[in-house]
A and B are shown apart, each in its own frame.
Chain A
Amino acid sequence: MRIEALTVVDDNKNKILDNINLDVQEGSIVAIVGESGSGKTTLANVILGTLPSMLKIESGTIVYKNHYLEDLDNKVYEKLYGSELTAIFQNPSSCLNPIIKIGKQFVETISSNIYVDKTNAISIAKKMLKKTNLHNTEKILDSYPFELSRGMLQRVNIAIMFALNPTLVIADEPTSSLDVLSQKQVLDEMLHLSSESKNTMIIITHSLSVASYIADSIVVLCKGNIVEYGAKNQVLNSPQHGYTQELLSSAMYL
């Protein structure tokens, strides 16, 4: 996936993203870090085709496989979602329908993407749950979302999304609403699953420690500009830009 000279503006022509160039290598994990309001979520929305109507793409393009942004309309996106492109969000409990059991939602999602019958879908669901270290699969599939902890729910979400074997996963603050222990578990499962299925992952986070734990390379975003992009060690050990140094030093205090 490649982003070229992307500029996004709001109603008042303020630049929310300014001339973004980003080349994401297939199979790699890229972390996008930056302070609140730096445009991380906006960047994710551009890639996912879910930009709020108040924001407009002023110029630039996204090349995704052989699709260009220009010909990515809703129809094309609808086909991409699930099998090619998928997302994991910050609040795991809001991502599942509260009144339908997890098993049913899991099976429905699988069978709307992959043509399998119900028993096969259930066995896929169980296999995926085991991969995310949730071993009491029967019980989890028979639960409503409110019966599980947030950390477990996020792992369920991850299991659902990875069951579809997507080529590109966008995760917007996937661990920000979790306690420290669940954070590590969730990150571990994401690492494990993505290395197994070799998909590309873009993780958005405001935490440098999350980024350094999971990513191969790090993008630092500041007020809509990419101020630094490079391999993890390079960015962490010898930051070129003042803003990154600031981020790094403030991370020390935590």
Chain B
Amino acid sequence: MKKLYILISISIFLILLSIVAPYLAPNDPLEIDFSRILAPPDEIYWLGGDHLGRYIFSRLLHGARATLATAFLMIAGMSILGIIMGAVAGFRGGASDTLIMRIGDMLLAFPEIVFVIVVVGMLGVGIFNTIIALSLIWWVKYSRITRVLVKKELSNNYIHAARMSGASDTRILIRYIMPVLIVQVCLNIGTIIIALAGFSFLGLGVQPPAPEWGNMLSESRIYIQTAPHLMIYPGLAIFLVVVLFNYFGETLRDMLTAK
């Protein structure tokens, strides 16, 4: 329990930090300083300069907002869509169930990168279109989990009894199914951040010169041998956030599944 509070505090702290980061950043993340190209870290420029002499520390702070905001947006989009579809399929059953699940199968049959490239190709390059494209396929995962949980719960006698005593579908969903889904969401944030970083790396995410951890990695990949700190810091930031949310999700899961 205490562990959970600590993790919640750290996460909230991180989110707040990403919101106020632009005010904390010592320099303009877009400012180019030719004297500091690929400069190694020192006391004034903590994390050094990148290939255009921009300050990596400032870019990391500014990038936190874009990285976390896109990840949260993404997870909100796909989980809300997925939970609604899964709940409809699970509670209604019959034709709606079959229809939703078959649509899901169809979407999963697409390789996701191809799907994203097609959608982005139609809607234009940009992080929002990538998020839309990914939400359109990844909701399937949530809908499947939700559907299975709903079906499993509905077959429980105590759910039957709860319904007979006036519990509505919504209450059953919130009471018995949401806790499990919240854990899923937390465990998923890490994956999403990595995936979005991957799409930024491919040029399908946040567009340069705006800083985002994924595209910082992508831009600096050719300097991996001459100036590894360009990749190390954004990589480390991604790593830490992913570890944090995974740990958070697992703690939550242990707490909810323990009696």
Chain A interface residues (CB < 8 Å from chain B): 48, 50, 78, 81-83, 85-87, 89, 91, 94-99, 108-109, 112-113, 144, 157, 160-161, 164
Contacts and interface: CB of A to CB of B under 8 A. Distances in A.
Contacts of A157: 161
B249 to A, nearest CB: 20
Closest 6 CB pairs of A and B: A82-B166, A94-B157, A95-B161, A87-B164, A113-B166, A81-B166
Contact of B166 (A89, A94, A112): A112
A95 B171 contact: no
A81 B166 CA distance: 5
Contact of B158 (A87, A97, A108): A97
Contact of B161 (A83, A96, A113): A96
B165 A96 contact: no
A82 B157 contact: no
A136 B259 CA distance: 24
A252 B121 CA distance: 82
Interface in B224-259: 259
B165 A164 contact: yes
Nearest to A80: B166
Contacts of A108: 175
Contacts of A86: 164-166
A41 to B, nearest CB: 13
18 contacts: A48-B164, A50-B160, A78-B168, A81-B164, A81-B167, A82-B164, A82-B165, A83-B166, A91-B157, A94-B158, A95-B157, A97-B162, A99-B259, A109-B166, A144-B259, A161-B165, A164-B165, A164-B166
A95 B167 contact: no
Nearest to A114: B166
Contacts of A144: 259
Contacts of B157: 89, 91, 94-95
Contacts of A48: 164
Contacts of B161: 87, 89, 94-96, 157
Contacts of A109: 162, 165-167
B164 to A, nearest CB: 4
Contact of B165 (A81, A94, A99): A81
Contacts of A98: 158
B167 A96 contact: no
B167 A112 contact: yes
B68 to A, nearest CB: 33
A65 B127 CA distance: 58
A98 B167 CA distance: 17
Contacts of B168: 78, 112
Given A99-B259, A108-B175, A112-B171, A160 B165 contact: yes
A95 B162 CA distance: 8
Contacts of A89: 157, 160-161
A164 B259 CA distance: 28
A82 B175 CA distance: 17
